[in-house]
Each structure stands twice: as structure tokens, then as C-alpha cells.
Amino acid sequence: MLDPARSESEALELLDRRGDEADLVILDVGLAGGNGPGVLARRSSMSARCRFVVLTGGATDELRSRCLSLGTDAVFEKAGEFGPFLAYCRPAPSAA
């Protein structure tokens, strides 16, 4: 299931409403009306199985550090790390 949000308030509302169903949250730090790290603060109240990933156009060392300190699982640069981002987002193979 895919639920896009265009703003921080929409993202927070989605996490409040459907966060317990989420396996993966992909976040850009450039949300309207706020910022991605503001949404990451909600991470602590969600299931441990849900992974938070930041995909951004400006993944500086400072931003990576800030996002990781707020609980994101990984940070990827849109331009140079899209392949690793896709690989990270693929579900792990099920044990047979």
C-alpha cells in the first residue's frame, strides 16, 4: 500500500492513522509546512518492524547525522544513491 503525503501535517496524520500498518516510511526532508526530521520524531511511537528511510536531494553529512540521531534507519541521496535505495527498500526474502 502506498500513502503519499505532501506536507509534514499530512505525513503526521497518516502515521497517526495508519502507522501501525506500515513496513516502510520513505521521507524527503523537504516537506511543505515543516520538515522531514520533524516527522522522524514520531518514529519512537511506531512498530520496530517499520523502517524509516530518508531519500533527499541534499544528503550532507550533517543531515545524515541528524536523521540517524532521530531514528531513521538509512539516508540516501536521490542522484547518486538511488540504486542502493531501491535495494534497501526491497523486502527481505522469506525463510522457507
Q: How confident is the model at residue 75 (pLDDT cuts 50, 70, 90)?
A: very high
Q: Give the model's pLDDT for residue 83.
A: 94
Q: Give the model's pLDDT for residue 93.
A: 62
Domains of the chain, earliest start first: 8-89 (3.40.50.2300)
Q: What's this model's pTM, rounded to 2 decimal places?
A: 0.81
Q: Give the model's pLDDT for residue 41.
A: 77
- d(C-alpha 59, C-alpha 25), whole Å: 17
Is the confidence at residue 63, as pLDDT, over 90? Answer: no
Q: Give the model's pLDDT for residue 33.
A: 75
Average pLDDT over residues 28-56: 77
Q: CA of 37: how far to CAs of 1, 26, 34, 75, in Å?
A: 23, 12, 9, 12
Average pLDDT over residues 16-33: 81
Long-range contacts of 23-27 (CB under 8 A, 24+ apart): 23/49, 23/50, 23/51, 23/91, 24/50, 24/51, 24/53, 24/89, 25/50, 25/51, 25/52, 25/53, 26/53, 26/54, 26/55, 26/89, 27/52, 27/53, 27/54, 27/55, 27/72
